[in-house]
Amino acid sequence: MLYELTAFALSGDAAAGVRNGADVLLKSLFLSLGGRHGLLAFNVLLIGAGAVIVWRDRRASRAPLEGSVFLRMGVESIVGGLVFGLIAGALTALLLRGPSFLATGPMDGLDLQTQLVISLGAGIYEELLFRVLVVGFLAWIATRLFGWRPMPAGIFAAILGALIFSAFHYIGPYGDPLELPSFTFRAVAGVLFSAMYLTRGLGITAWTHALYDVFLTLM
């Protein structure tokens, strides 16, 4: 809600203007199919799917919601956002046998407020697109069509999904110039986010991603 309201306030448009690329990609598909009604369908589908997942998990756990859980999730995401780049950078350096690398986006021409909005949207929509949809779909293909077991299917989906995730950052007018260090860093980041998504869930993964981008913007 914070991302959507801030992005709309800056651009006055619910589908264009100040938006994260993954957000634009997802909404453009629905806009092309149904115009503004397609955008409404996207929002209804997103909120409805979230509500169903929450209802399913609440029904399965039968435990009351505790504020301390959200507090611990927040602390974990803040710590994750602070150290994520260091870990991904160190792994990139090991792979390339070079100095530690920290990827940055081509947002130097944008004001700080706009950069923060785009960074916040990255955690929400990039994780929704690349972890939930892309990695989930690739894992489904590997298990259903190839007959692989869950472990190799998950590894395959995480690696291929990470390469797709990395390549996404070099597309469009705000895309980076394609360079091996930045591509490798983002591919490593994609694998780490996939591992985090599978072990810690979407909430912590999305907030860790968003806060990492926010902290990087403020550096």
User: What digits encode the pLDDT tens for the residues 47-93?
Assistant: 888 888 888 888 887 777 788 889 999 999 999 999 998 999 999 99
Residue 208's pLDDT band, with cuts at 50, 70 and 90, is: very high
Q: Which residue has the higher pLDDT, 16 or 24?
A: 24
Other C-beta atoms closer than 10 Å to the C-beta of 81 total 20
| Cα 148-183-189 angle, rounded to 5 deg | 60
| Cα 11-46-171 angle, rounded to 5 deg | 55
pLDDT digits (tens, 9 = 90+) for 146-200: 889 988 998 999 999 999 999 988 886 667 788 888 899 999 999 999 989 888 8
| Cα 168-169-173 angle, rounded to 5 deg | 105
Q: What are phi and psi of 5, to 5 degrees?
A: -65, -40
pTM: 0.81
Of the candidates 109, 118, 87, 101, the one whose C-alpha atom is nearest the C-alpha of residue 210 is 118
Q: Which helix (H) or strand (E) holds 126?
A: none
